[in-house]
Amino acid sequence: MADNYLLKLYQNMTRYPLGQRLFSAVFARKAPYFRTIKPRITELRPHFCELRFRKRKAVENHIGTVHAIALCNGLEMAMGALAEATVPKHLRWIPKGMSVNYTAKADSDIRITAETPNHAWQPGDLPVQVKGYRNDGTLVISGEIVIYISEKPSRKK
């Protein structure tokens, strides 16, 4: 069993039917805008997160594709879940910046991934690679979310 609180929760909840959906709904409450895409985290482990969301009217733009902000919400949620599942207990993180490239029309359901190298979690800037794909595997968005990692302040007793 994992030592990380979020991984423990994910592993416990996903043992049950609808566990991924329930876990995703709970995690999406961390930032209300995550809920707008109705995401489902399908894989979560240290250094990696995958989530999916459906193309539906609420996330479409004027030309009928998934709008840019919905895609970015997915990227940020995947990065946040990865960060919480990976960050060592003595460190903390905060987003610092995000850059994205839109590479194709997002005209289907979307699969998002976030990934970091295994030994990257040191104080300072950490670029998290984020990507979004259509059902046919075509990359529709790619980017980098830079998070700032620092030591947690010591607790005085």
CATH of 5-151, one of 3.30.420.40, 3.10.129.10, 3.10.20.30, 3.40.1280.10: 3.10.129.10
pTM reported for the whole predicted model: 0.93
Burial 8-46 (b: 16+ CB within 10 A, else e): ebbbebbeeeeebeebbbebbeeeeebbebbbbbeebeb
Overall size of the chain counted in residues = 157
CB of 150 closer than 8 Å to CB of 92: yes
Average pLDDT over residues 84-95: 95
Token pair in block for residue 129: 């690679």
For a pLDDT cut of 70, what percent of the chain falls above it? 98
- Would you say residue 147 has pLDDT above 50? yes
For a pLDDT cut of 90, what percent of the chain falls above it? 90
Q: Which residue has the tokens 């894989």?
A: 43
Residue 120 CB partners (closer than 8 Å, separation 6+): 47, 126
pLDDT band for 97, please (50, 70, 90 cuts). very high
Mean of per-residue pLDDT scores for the chain? 94
Token pair in block for residue 39: 């995401």
pLDDT band for 2, please (50, 70, 90 cuts). low
